[in-house]
Chains A and B, each alone.
Chain A
Amino acid sequence: MADVLTAAALFILAATAVALFRVLRSGVVAERMMAVQLLGTGGAAALLLLGSASGSAAASDVALLLALFAAFSCVAFVIGAAEPEAEPDPPEERP
């Protein structure tokens, strides 16, 4: 079982790596940003598989963090790229 899971993890890592290579060479900024999403899902999947294969429960914590960081970075990118009028939020209030 562990061998199958490890093989699947390596396969997914390879597929993600090819995709990463493709998007990071792209001239479109939003496509380069897809690298974050790729790392979030592909990285999480590979980590979960490796964690299950090796019996280390901590891997799922790292996968959780990866997924979380992927979400945060995409939001940061879009907020940074957006024009002021595109964000109709009220100015933040400070306590």
Chain B
Amino acid sequence: MSAVLGIVTIVLVTAGAVLFLAGTLGLLRFPDTLSRLHAISKADNLGLGLIVLGLLPQAASVTGGLKLICVWLLAQLSAATASQLLGRAVYRGRREP
């Protein structure tokens, strides 16, 4: 059982790491500021989500697992708000130079 959980952890954590790489690549390669914002807000967020999901079987206690989920929820919330606010700021800057 724990071997299966270990494999689940490794697969999910690896997938998460790949998504962080994708976020960085998108940031480097996408042509404009707003597209780059898409890249880091969406890819990095899914990356963190997969890593949290992958670490859950390794959590020492129930509260430890709940705390992991809290980190993810908070990061989701902050990513949604932050990309939203940054997007609006960029857009305003474009229209009223």
Contacts and interface: CB of A to CB of B under 8 A. Distances in A.
So, do A and B actually touch in the complex, CB under 8 Å? yes
Interface of A: 1, 4-5, 8, 11-12, 15-16, 18-19, 22-23, 28, 30-31, 33-34, 36-38, 40-42, 44-45, 48-49, 52, 55, 57, 60-61, 63-64, 67-68, 70-71, 74-75, 77-78, 81-83, 86
A40 B92 CA distance: 25
Interface residues of A, dominant DSSP: helix
A75 B81 contact: yes
B78 to A, nearest CB: 3
A80 B6 CA distance: 46
Contacts of A71: 74, 77-78, 81-82
A23 B31 CA distance: 13
Given A5-B13, A64-B71, A48 B55 contact: yes
B60 A60 contact: no
Interface in B40-90: 40-41, 44-45, 47-48, 51-52, 55, 58-60, 64, 67-68, 70-71, 74-75, 77-79, 81-83, 85-86, 88-90
Contacts of B88: 78
A37 B86 CA distance: 10
Contacts of B47: 12, 41, 45
Given A8-B13, A16-B20, A42-B20, 17 more contacts: A5-B55, A8-B17, A8-B51, A12-B17, A22-B24, A23-B27, A28-B33, A34-B86, A37-B82, A41-B47, A55-B60, A57-B60, A60-B71, A67-B71, A67-B74, A71-B74, A71-B78
Nearest to A18: B24
